[in-house]
Amino acid sequence: MENLSDLSLFCLVLLKECGSPDTLSEEEKAEEFRKVYLRNLPLNVTTIKAAARACGINLVAMSASKMPRNMRGYHEMIIDGRITDGQKTIYYREDDTASGLENTILHETREMMERIFPEVCPGYRPLRTLATHLAANRFATAVLLPRESFERRVYETGLDVIALADFHQKSCSQVLLRMGEVLQGRLFFYGVLYELGFDVEPDWRVTYWARSWNDEFPDANVHGVEDLFPRKGHQVIPGSLVSQVILEGRPCFVRHITLLDDNDEEGLTAIAQPYASRENIITKVALVVILGQDGKLLQPQLERTRPIAIEHFHRRL
């Protein structure tokens, strides 16, 4: 399909080729966007900027001092009669990282699409503000980390959040959340990212987490121990796997995590790995948990990182 010179025309083609936007997942919207604007091109700042300009979007760099507080970017749509006729501009931080810039452009592009959909698809009910923001995040991630190739590399790295982030030049948080999406329905997986904060004093807390289930074999999941898996804001617990990583400064691996008192079940297995800043200071720890019966999936990560091995935990991570 040939490139389209305006985002409104892309929304029309999306409607024609794929159906109403409200029946399409962000994965499907992203796939069509790549097919139209990024076919056979590397996914980098240059091509993402080119795709935005092909959509008729102006890109304006802005100094951090002029950018609204706590924002990496925003967009404007100057309406001339109809939204589809208006001028479209994305403002981004000139000092942002390449990964941040790619995400900002795609995120704001998806938010613009949400405003266009009601005009090209009568009866479409726009998402609310928060839902639009979340949809834009998923769209940007799905464009930048295509499902098929990303899932293949997830297994090649042994579910290694940090190796995937390094390979794709993306944040650990974006990679972790994408893992939860592509593994959904295929595998029981729980992943979490702890980060070091300095609001008052140094403090390790969960900032992101993701989870997936095995839909084909419901028994290949974990039930009834929701309190075992920390959520956002949860502090590091002394004696946990993550606390061991922070203490040792090295990856740590638990072979067998039992959930029942008789200790006879297959249970879980988990690995936690530190991420160090350029100053060689550990600022993040990525924890991955899967069923013990699927432990072989971690083998590439184990061979590469050579973690400290811990034989057994009981009802704790």
Q: What pLDDT, on a 0 to 100 scale, did the predictor assign at position 1?
A: 37
One domain for residues 183 and 252 = yes
pTM of the model: 0.91
Cα 24 from Cα 2, distance rounded (Å): 22
**The domain spanning residue 175 has which CATH number?**
3.30.450
Q: How, if at all, do strands 268-276 and 282-291 pair?
A: antiparallel
- Asked if 204 and 195 count as a contact pair (C-beta separation under 8 A), the reply is yes
Residue 139 lies in a domain: yes
Cβ atoms 235, 205 nearer than 8 A: yes
Which residue range(s) make up the domain with 72?
7-144
Helix (H) or strand (E) holding 289: strand 282-291
Residue 150 lies in a domain: no
Pair (303, 205) in one structural domain:
yes
Distance of CA 133 to the CA centre of its chain: 14
Percentage helix, strand, coil, to 5, in the chain? 40, 25, 30
164 and 124 inside one domain: no
In a domain, 237, yes or no: yes
Does residue 283 lie within any of the structural domains? Answer: yes
CA-closest candidate to residue 113, choices 80, 68, 75, 147: 75
Q: What is the pLDDT of residue 82?
A: 60
Residue 232 identity: K
Q: What is the pLDDT of residues 286-309, one digit of tens each?
A: 999 999 999 999 999 999 999 999
The answer as to whether 76 is a domain residue is: yes
118-158 pLDDT per residue, tens? 988 988 999 999 999 999 999 999 999 999 999 999 999 99
d(CA 7, CA 154): 32
In terms of domains, do 104 and 253 share one? no
Residue that finishes a domain, picked among 118, 144, 170: 144
Is 85 a domain residue?
yes
Residue 213 in any domain: the answer is: yes
The pLDDT, as a whole number, for residue 4 is: 54
Domain annotation covers residue 2:
no
Pick the last residue of a domain from 144, 168, 195.
144
Which of 144, 178, 212 is the C-terminal boundary of a domain? Answer: 144
Whether residue 98 is found in the same domain as residue 185: no
pLDDT above 90 for 32 = yes
Share of the chain above pLDDT 70, in %: 94
Give the integer Cα–Cα distance in Å for 300 and 127.
41
Query: What is the total count of domains within the chain?
Result: 2
From CA 177, how far away is CA 191, in angstroms rounded?
8
Looking at the fold, whether 82 and 109 belong to one and the same domain comes out as yes
Strand order in the sheet with 82-93: 57-62, 82-93, 73-80
Indicate whether 160 pLDDT > 60. yes
Q: Are residues 102 and 230 located together in one domain of the fold?
A: no
Q: What is the pLDDT of residues 207-233, one digit of tens each?
A: 999 999 999 998 899 988 888 999 999
> In this structure, are 182 and 61 located in the same domain?
no
Same domain? For 175 and 306 the reply is yes
Q: Is residue 164 domain-shared with residue 140, that is, in the same domain?
A: no
**In this predicted model, which residue has the larger pLDDT, 308 or 81?**
308
Say which CATH number the domain at 65 has.
1.10.10
Residue 80 reports pLDDT greater than 90: no
Does one domain contain both 300 and 213?
Answer: yes
**Same domain for 137 and 68:** yes
**Cβ-based burial of 89 (10 A; exposed 0-12, middle 13-18, buried ≥19):** middle
273-281 LR contacts (CB < 8 Å, sep 24+):
273/160, 273/161, 273/162, 273/245, 273/301, 273/305, 273/307, 274/245, 274/246, 274/249, 274/250, 275/162, 275/165, 275/172
The two beta strands, 252-258 and 268-276, are antiparallel
